[in-house]
Amino acid sequence: MHYQEVNFDGLIGPSHNYAGLSPGNIASDQHRGRVASPRQAALQGLEKMWRLVQLGQVQGVLPPAPRPAVETLQRLGFSGSTPEIIGQAYKKAPHLLAACYSASTMWAANAATVSASRDCPDGRVHFTPANLITTLHRTIETDYSAAMLKRIFNNPDHFCHHPPLPCQADYADEGAANHTRLCPSHDQPGLSLLVYGRGNDHQLPKIYPARQTHAACEALVRQHQLSSDHVVIAQQNPDAIDQGVFHHDVIGVGHRNFLMLHAEAFVNQRQVLQQLQQQWQQSTHSRDEPLIITEISPQLLSVKEAVSSYLFNSQLISLSTQARPDQLSEYSIRAPHNTDEQSMLLLAPSNCLASSEAQHAIDWLMAGDNPVSAVEYIDLTQSMNNGGGPACLRLRVPLSRAEQNAVHPGIILDYTLYNRLKNWINKHYREQLNAEDLADPCLPVEIQAALDELTEILVLPGLYPFQV
């Protein structure tokens, strides 16, 4: 059966703002307190989704969580009507109000860990929502993300939904941002690379938290019943975490049989890459297709500049299925090599254009022996200012044709839905939003009106059971 990696992007919500809620996320901290543009943010994210459709990809839209999270504020001791609760929180604990207004469900790479049906013994796609317990604003997403994924992937013949891992420090789980599936093609069993920052070896960062744990990675393998012969668990370099690499997708990206990462991504990186190659070669499905691993040296691109440019948070997209080279944008840069059916596009954030190191690294990549035959830049400035690039915005789900047909059809992006969402954003989203605006009692009413209409557009009635 035909399999394809389908991207499901988080639609950026109407409460997008810069509150600097994420320790270790340097961009988030640097933009703390600045004026955000929710409308521009959502339109930028939508244009990225639409660009993938133009490139022949199947693209899904994940609706944002309801905000503010009034129930969380109530659990934290605030009471009364919604306007009263918001007013109290703004005066007494504005950081809590900001957390409960966060639009961070946009970064769908943290929504869940997903295992392809070809990798699971029962032949179903497995989902485990991330508990995201390192930060308050993200851990309150988990219940919504779990319910939303069950609504969209709601056929038990094809999809299996697990509960989140226990909300305890030893099982801190940040989702697919720390999971890379490598495979010769999506219709063959894959090799799962799971990355953690904290285990029992006492190699820890000194400045910022290590968000994913080794125990969480092991639990995910058990939940999804993945074969140990097809799993590699690797530890993040703690020095890289202290420079802003809070998830692996800030310093590495993989797609099909290609893995691109910084030379300082892992502890004992040489051993990790050797293990990947050994397990790849031992697979009977992988003998005719080599695993290509490209390391970018610190001399070419420092970790600091990798974090600033977000080069490794680019998306790698197959150009072999529907898209042809002449379908690439005028903003694409092509290389003369690897224009065969295995070629890939690197969809990079426009921030890379402002970095001479990132440009040199891309030039080096394009001239090398790897599947990347083109690079294209996408403007995601609003998301990037909060520390989320192209890869952060999407949850990758490898699906067969039958599994694609079992996905809720209302969220699959086509030209009609693209235009309806664009009109919806322009109608409901504020042009600007700052910290003081979170105290505005009209904001929750505006958000609920927007989300009520969104459920009609995406045909998801009852998704938002909250009332202002």
179-226: pLDDT as tens digits: 999 999 999 999 999 999 999 877 899 999 999 999 999 999 999 999
Number of residues in the chain: 468
What is residue 332's predicted lDDT score, i.e. its pLDDT?
A: 46
3-state secondary structure of 409: helix
Amino acid at 360: H
CB 317 within 8 A of CB 325: no
Known binder of ligand: residue 137? yes
Query: Which two tokens mark 428?
Result: 């409901």
Where in the sequence numbering do the catalytic residues fall? 174, 247, 392
pLDDT at 401 over 70: yes
For the chain, the C-alpha Rg in angstroms (whole number) is 21
Known binder of ligand: residue 24? yes
- 3-67+102-457: CATH superfamily: Succinylarginine dihydrolase (3.75.10.20)
Known binder of ligand: residue 19? yes
Known binder of ligand: residue 288? no
How confident is the model over 218-231, as pLDDT tens digits? 999 999 999 999 99
What is residue 333's predicted lDDT score, i.e. its pLDDT?
A: 45
> What is the sign, positive or negative, of the torsion defined by CA atoms of 136, 461, 454, 408?
positive
